[in-house]
Structures are given as C-alpha cells and as structure tokens.
A and B are shown apart, each in its own frame.
Chain A
Amino acid sequence: MKTINLTEQTVRDLNQALHAQAVECTEREWEVLEPKGQHNIACGLDQNLSVDIKGPTGYYCAGMNKKAHVTIHGNAGQGVAENMMSGTVRVKGDASQAAGATAHGGLLVIEGNAAARCGISMKGVDIVVKGNVGHMSCFMGQAGALVVCGDAGDALGDSIYETHIYVKGEVKSLGADCIEKEVREEHIEELTELLNRAGVDEDPAAFKRYGSARQLYNFKVDNTSAY
C-alpha cells in the first residue's frame, strides 16, 4: 500500500501520483493521511484504484471519478463525487451540498447525512444516503437512482426527469412535477440491489417511491398559443 501524507506533500503531488497509475497500474491501494479539509483530493482518477482518505475532505473530492473506489473516513465538503462516471465513492461521515452533482454512473454511498441539492442534475449515478438529505435533492435528476434511508428536505425531485427516488423517512415537500408513485416488484428488486451494493441493511418494503409526473418537460400542444 502506498501512503501519502498531505501535510508533507501537496494535493497536486497526490493527484499526479494517482494519475500516473492510469498508464500502468502498479500500485492499486492508496492511503491518504491528514487531508484536513483540502479541496480536489483524488480527482479525475481513471484506473481501478482503491483510495482511503483518513479524515475530512474539502470541495470536489473524488470528482470525475472513473473505475476507482474512494473511501472518505470523515465528512466531505461540497460537490463530492461530482460528475463521477463509474466506480464507487463512499463517505463515512456527512456530505455537504451538491453531492454526486451531474454524475453519469457509479455508486455514491453517504453513511451520514447529505446537505442540500444531493444528486442535483444526476445523469445515471446511483446514490445511497443512510441519513437525511437536504432541500432540492435530485433537482433536475435525469437518470439513475437516489435512495434516502432518512428524511428528505423541501422540494425533493424538483423538475425531475427520469431519476428513481426512494425515501424511507418523511419528505418535507415535493418539488415541481415530482409525485409519489406506486412501488412495483421491479422497484423492490432495484432497491434491494442498490441497498446490497451499498452494504446498507434496510427493508426495501419500507420505502416509498417518487418520480416524474412527466407534465413539465413535454411540449404541450394546448400551450401553443403561449409561444
């Protein structure tokens, strides 16, 4: 295992060393010590690496991730796993705003709470939050799934496209065009698989499903005169 201490080396040194593995992967396991809330740690990885960050991180940790498995043993700042393509990002603590924003694929697991706009404009990523999510989570969510084991704040799924949302706790309010939907067998299967992948022990039958009423983003001929 390779260890990098961020009080001795810079984030740029770390990211450079991780990117160097993209050509020939000789060192799969990495440990990052004393991150102290610095920004842009372990960004842009595109190799099947395992990176353990031992402490709280700042903005955009594990952004643009491809194939790598990044674990943050602490809280994460804004935009964790932003624009992830594949792989896994796991936050052991809480995540700040816009976790998993615009991410296209992979799995983001937040073991604590996530703040506002979790999964904003998500485009295919799966996000599992063990705690609560803040307001406007899944805003303009386009594809993928958001699973919330706790409660959701105001305007959940505002202007949502086709993301699947599952919430076990209370939903403070639903955003524009987001409605509660029937839970069918295929959804129980999807949720079971997501919970298993995330390693979260919850009963899939206890969740409600939310999604798009599909009223907002279709052109309506009735409105022609308004244009």
Chain B
Amino acid sequence: MCGIVGLYLKNKALESQLGALFEPMLIAMTDRGPDSAGFAIYGDEVADDSIKLTLRHADENYDWAALAEKAQTELNTGVEWFKNSKVAVFKIQTSAAIAEAFVAEAAPDVLILSAGQSIEILKEVGLPENIAETFSLKGMKGSHIIGHTRMATESAVTMEGSHPFSTGMDLCLVHNGSLSNHNRLREELKREGIVFETENDSEVAAGYLTWRLQQGDSLNEALTNSLKDLDGFFTFTVGTRDGFAVMRDPIACKPAVMAETDDYVAMASEYQALTTLPGIENARIWEPEPATIYVWERNSQEGAK
C-alpha cells in the first residue's frame, strides 16, 4: 500500500513549526506502511558555492568527527557537520562532485542519502512513530517536507529500499504504487549516467525526473514527460529546492487528497493524515485529477496547476 504525505509552507512564519506540523501526518499513515518510514526536509540552505550531504553509517557510534577532519584537510576547505542518530549532515564548501568523490574514497561504507543546497533525507526501517522520535522530527525547521511510510511490495525491507529516494541535487520523490517498466527504464537511464543504489521501482521514477531536469526541463515539464514514459500506477509527491509537486497516473487508482490554505499546501494518501493541520476545517480540499500536474514553486507567484 504505502502512505505518502507532504507539507509545503506558504507562510514563512510557520517554518519553525514544520516538523511539529508534519510529525502527526507521517504517523497517521502507519496503517498504510508499517515497514519503514522516511522524510526529506528542505531548509537551512548552504551557499551556492557549498554542498550539503546527508550521510549514514550503520554504526551509531561512527567517528564522524574524524571524517570531517579528513575532509577539511584533504579538500582544504571548511566543513560544518552535525549528527542525528545514524545520520550526519555535512556542509562542505566545494562542489557536489568533489564532495561525493571524497566520501566514496575516504569512507566507502558510508551511504550518501542526499546531496544539495537544501535537502536532508532521514529514513529508517521500523514504525513511523519510532523513526520520527529517533530523528526528533518534532523540533525540525524548514520550508517544505515530504514523507513516506512503506509497506514493502516491490523490494525487500531494508534501509536501502526505504523511501524517500533522491537521485539528483535537492530532488526527492515519494511514490505510492508500482511501476511496470522500471527495469527497462533503469537500463536506459544508466546509459544517460544516472546512478541507482537499489532495484526499487520508485528510485527509477526519481532517477527519471533527475535526468529530465538535467536536460533542462522545468519541474512541470519533467512531470509532463514522465506521464508518457512511466508505465504503471503512481501517486507521486516531489520536492525540489524551491518546489513541491503532486501528480497521479491517468488511471489514478492510488489515492491522494490535497488541502490548501493561505498558510500551506498539504497532500496525503488519506484525509486522516490532514486532520491535525491548523485551519483544516476551512481549507480547500480536493482529490487531484488523474494525469494532472499540481506544482507550487517558491520563486513563482503562480498558485498551481
């Protein structure tokens, strides 16, 4: 089944409460996905000449300080970092390519969960409630956040198979459904230089969007193209550095409901996940139409669709 949720703040005054508003949304979707959960949060941006990596090591006592020091010396640049459970966020004044190459070389057993100016991805195997607590989701700040609770169907219950997936700078996709042409598409995308970590169908969808954005598509264009090239069932929620989008396939058998007020746009697989949001009683609530793209972007005054 899987549950997906997203919250995009239009009112900056709410940014300090993003985690607190989002936590009950994620936990409400436990019935749809008790196997693993995760979220991608956007905010706390680094400057354009820097990169933010979310790194994970299986050992909670991993020596991140040593890795940070090594990065500082070898890359001859400033490194800021903090740890959250098994994950550490590194902010390095260098390019993504250099930073990622350094991690691969210096710490091959460290997994890069995300890279970008704004994004941090946190995910684990287990109940959403425990995962929210592990990462202290409630206290987190930011501009938008998307999350996933997984009921594993297409691949194993592992940390690597947990959602969400990020395969490009600041891009994150959560998926409810199943793709039927992901194997062929994965091979095609590999030839285009997209790197995949798992056999998961949702990662292919994330990789596809990364590739389209690299080709110069806007988020809206990338999603329009995906309607042609992705086959199967999907409700997607997508986060980018500035944007938030929701789209369902033309059959639209995977559920989705959206709510919008002056303060926020929220999406969830089921209405249950929206009930704790402030002002939900008077929000505009609707079910997204099949094969229709709903996009909100920070740098655009345009509302949606």
Q: Which residues of A contact B (CB under 8 A)?
A: 36-38, 56, 58-59, 75, 77-78, 93-94, 96-97, 115-116, 134-135
Contact = CB atoms under 8 A, between A and B. Distances in A.
Nearest to A98: B253
Contact of B287 (A58, A59, A115): A115
B272 A58 contact: yes
A58 B255 contact: no
B75 interface: no
Contacts of B257: 96
B271 A97 contact: no
A36 B272 CA distance: 6
B275 interface: yes
A59 B255 CA distance: 11
Interface in B241-261: 252-253, 255, 257
Given A36-B275, A97-B255, A116 B270 contact: no
Nearest to B288: A115
A97 B270 CA distance: 12
A96 B290 contact: no
A56 B272 CA distance: 9
Contact of A38 (B272, B274, B285, B289): B272
B81 interface: no
B287 A37 contact: no
B62 interface: no
Given A78-B255, A97-B253, A58 B271 contact: yes
A37 B275 contact: yes
Contacts of A77: 255, 270-271
Interface residues of B, number: 14
What is the predominant secondary structure among interface residues of chain A facing chain B?
Answer: loop
B290 A135 contact: yes
A211 to B, nearest CB: 24
Interface in B136-159: none
Majority secondary structure, B binding face: loop
Interface in B268-305: 270-272, 274-275, 285-287, 289-290
Q: Which of A37, A38, A94 is most buried by chain B, counting CB atoms within 10 A of its CB?
A: A37
Contacts of B287: 94, 96, 115
Contact of B285 (A75, A97, A135): A75
Interface of B: 252-253, 255, 257, 270-272, 274-275, 285-287, 289-290
A93 B257 CA distance: 14
A37 B290 contact: no
A97 B257 CA distance: 11
Given A115-B287, A134-B290, A135-B290, A37 B255 contact: no
Nearest to A96: B287
Interface centre among B255, B257, B272, B285 (most CB of A within 10 A): B272
B165 to A, nearest CB: 27
A168 B271 CA distance: 30
B252 A94 contact: no
A38 B257 CA distance: 14
Nearest to B31: A39
Residue with the greatest number of chain A CB neighbours at <10 A, chosen from B253, B257, B271, B289: B271
A96 B274 contact: no
Contacts of B274: 37
A134 B274 CA distance: 23
Given A37-B274, A58-B272, 18 more contacts: A37-B270, A37-B271, A37-B275, A38-B272, A56-B271, A56-B285, A58-B270, A58-B271, A75-B271, A75-B285, A78-B255, A93-B285, A94-B287, A97-B253, A115-B252, A116-B290, A134-B252, A134-B290
28 contacts: A36-B272, A36-B275, A37-B270, A37-B272, A37-B274, A38-B272, A56-B271, A58-B270, A58-B271, A59-B270, A77-B255, A77-B270, A77-B271, A78-B255, A93-B285, A94-B287, A96-B255, A96-B257, A96-B287, A97-B252, A115-B252, A115-B287, A116-B252, A116-B290, A134-B252, A134-B289, A134-B290, A135-B252
Nearest to B281: A55
B255 to A, nearest CB: 6
Given A78-B255, A116-B252, A94 B271 contact: no
Contacts of A93: 285
A197 B230 CA distance: 45
A77 B32 CA distance: 15
A71 B42 CA distance: 41
